[in-house]
Amino acid sequence: MKDRIRIASGQGFWGDLPSAPLDQATRGPIDYLVLDYLAEVTMSILRKQMRRDPALGYAKDLVPLMRSLLPLMRERGFRMVTNGGGVNPRACAAAILAEAKKHGQKGFKVGVVTGDDILDRIDGFVSQGIPLANMETGEPVTTVRERLESANIYFGAAPIVEALRQGADVVITGRTTDTGLTLAPMIHEFGWRFDDWDRLAAGTVAGHILECGGQASGGNFLGDWRSVPDLADIGFPIAEAHADGTVVITKHEGTGGLVSSATVKEQLLYEIGDPRTYITPDCIADFTSIRLDEVAPDRVRVHGVQGRPATDSYKVSMAYLDGYTAFGTLTYAWPEALEKAKAADGILRERLRKAGLEFEEVRTEYLGHSSSHGHLSTAGSEPEEVVLRIGVKGSDPAAIERFGMELAPLILTGPPSVTGFAGGRPKPSEVISYWPALIPKTAVTPTVEILEV
């Protein structure tokens, strides 16, 4: 049993810095590399890919990445945990095993965690009296049943721990909590009990700090962002975890970015509601108990974390088709740029009305003036240019199509000094909306398989 491990964040979302995983693997020692690819809407995108090709449905970036990581994993002795399996973890594992075979990695093991995908079981759950009600509105899932695109349970660390116990070099999961990716190696290596709530909460906090990649090491830093050195070579965060639950957040020496109390605090505030009750499948963490100490440059000690027993439910992340949308832009130049953009918006809305088109929503933004803060923006000097961005949402794709046809004519039939129309008419695209729900833990069970070359 180890008394210290180094867990490195390699991705904060699907599409994150492509060089980060290899940097984490080569620029210093690590024991685990964790790659977080999934967001709520990602699951529906992957589901559509899988419907087109049953061999897809996972983060395709993983396969070419593994061609470089495989020899490094054996040479440097680290393991990998990722939720990049999306809605098809088995296909992802098969693709990685094929790469391992090409590299002659005999005995290479991939752990696959499944059971989170419940899309085909929705009707059965409803018939058992499990309404899968929307956590925000209370509506039963039957109101959107026919439009569901994906439905996945947030499993926690436990199945990953089991895969590691069975010797997996890489663990591939579907919809697992972001924090569970980091917590699982700690439970496995330190032998923590699943009712050791304070230590589980400490590992959960560490996972929350790592889950957004470089955001904890100086990226997207709202504080003194100018003081962050060399963002072009940003070092992603590493959790140096100890058996007693203490964690030091750091990064590889010689990399850019910044790990400080301020950067860590900003990440701790990311996507939390009640800071005293941060709920995961593994425990409830009290973020108000967290203590931070800057013990050295780029080293922040996290300690004192308190936890409480886990709830008896899993969260379910579902996505459903919610109509169609289209957006288009035009740029208006000085002088009177904002006045021209507002006039163009009024003209377009009146033409849409006269055409008898109805939409659930018409939204206008003035980029360069008030798009980020809306009515909170303060009036300043006249902008040199304003980008009019207007979009519509509705259930009728034909109406959305007609909106796209009405935008371009503003170039010759609206205010002057306009440019920036490119790429053709805006086309309707599907709107995917989020449906959060709860399900009793007794209703579902994760499955762990070990596949080997």
Reading the chain (453 residues) residue by residue, the pLDDT tens digits are 789 999 999 999 999 999 999 999 999 999 999 999 998 778 888 988 998 999 999 999 999 999 999 999 999 999 999 999 999 999 999 999 999 999 888 999 999 999 999 999 999 999 999 999 999 999 999 999 999 999 999 999 999 999 999 999 999 999 999 999 999 999 999 999 999 999 999 999 999 999 999 999 999 999 999 999 999 999 999 999 999 999 999 999 999 999 999 999 999 999 999 999 999 999 999 999 999 999 999 999 999 999 999 999 999 999 999 999 999 999 999 999 999 999 999 999 999 999 999 999 999 999 998 878 877 777 677 889 999 999 999 999 999 999 999 999 999 999 999 998 877 899 999 999 999 999 999 999 999 999 998
Read off the tokens for 36.
């977080």
Alpha-carbon distance of 190 to 244, in angstroms, equals: 9
Q: Which residue range(s) make up the domain with 410?
A: 323-433
CB 39 within 8 A of CB 217: no
Question: CA 70, 76, 79 angle in degrees (round to 5)?
Answer: 60
Residue 140 is assigned to a structural domain of this protein? no
Alpha-carbon distance of 174 to 5, in angstroms, equals: 25
Do residue 287 and residue 350 come from a single domain? no
Report the DSSP beta bridge partners of residue 303: 291
CB 43 within 8 A of CB 147: no
Do residue 184 and residue 307 come from a single domain? yes
Residue 196 is assigned to a structural domain of this protein? yes
pLDDT given at position 39: 83
The residue from 311, 341, 358 where one domain ends is 311
Do residue 307 and residue 333 come from a single domain? no
Number of domains in the chain: 2
CB 56 within 8 A of CB 90: no
| CATH assignment of the domain containing 355 | 3.30.70
Phi, psi (5° rounding) for residue 199?
Answer: -70, -40
> Buried b / exposed e across 94-125, counting CB within 10 Å, b at 16+?
bbbbebbeeeebeebbbbbbbbbbbeeebeeb
> Buried b / exposed e across 270-305, counting CB within 10 Å, b at 16+?
eeeeeeeebbbbbbbbbbebbebeeeeebebbbbeb
Do residue 305 and residue 419 come from a single domain? no
pLDDT given at position 422: 78
pLDDT given at position 51: 87
Return the C-alpha torsion angle 249, 251, 256, 262, nearest 10.
Answer: 0
DSSP code at position 423: S
pLDDT given at position 33: 98
Do residue 345 and residue 279 come from a single domain? no
Residue 149 is assigned to a structural domain of this protein? no
Residue 133 is assigned to a structural domain of this protein? no
DSSP code at position 256: B
CB 434 within 8 A of CB 315: no
Strand, helix or coil for residue 436: strand
Do residue 381 and residue 299 come from a single domain? no
Length reported for the chain = 453
Do residue 303 and residue 353 come from a single domain? no
Phi, psi (5° rounding) for residue 276?
Answer: -80, -15
Do residue 287 and residue 192 come from a single domain? yes
CB 255 within 8 A of CB 262: no
Do residue 255 and residue 349 come from a single domain? no
Alpha-carbon distance of 330 to 342, in angstroms, equals: 11
Alpha-carbon distance of 46 to 59, in angstroms, equals: 8
Do residue 248 and residue 276 come from a single domain? yes
Residue 97 is assigned to a structural domain of this protein? yes
Alpha-carbon distance of 400 to 391, in angstroms, equals: 9
CB 315 within 8 A of CB 232: no
Strand, helix or coil for residue 91: helix
Residue 121 is assigned to a structural domain of this protein? no
Handedness of CA 208, 212, 214, 215 (dihedral sign): negative
Nearest to 88 by CA among 43, 128, 125: 43
Interaxial angle between packed helices 337-354 and 397-407, expressed in degrees from 0 to 180 and rounded to the nearest 10: 140
Residue 257 is assigned to a structural domain of this protein? yes
Contacts with 381 (C-beta within 8 Å, 6 or more apart), sequence order: none
Report the DSSP beta bridge partners of residue 81: 34, 171
Read off the tokens for 161.
């721990």
Do residue 264 and residue 342 come from a single domain? no
DSSP code string of 382-403: PPSEEEEEEEEEES-HHHHHHH
Residue 47 is assigned to a structural domain of this protein? yes
Do residue 167 and residue 212 come from a single domain? yes
CB 115 within 8 A of CB 316: no
Phi, psi (5° rounding) for residue 384?
Answer: -75, -25
pLDDT given at position 379: 63
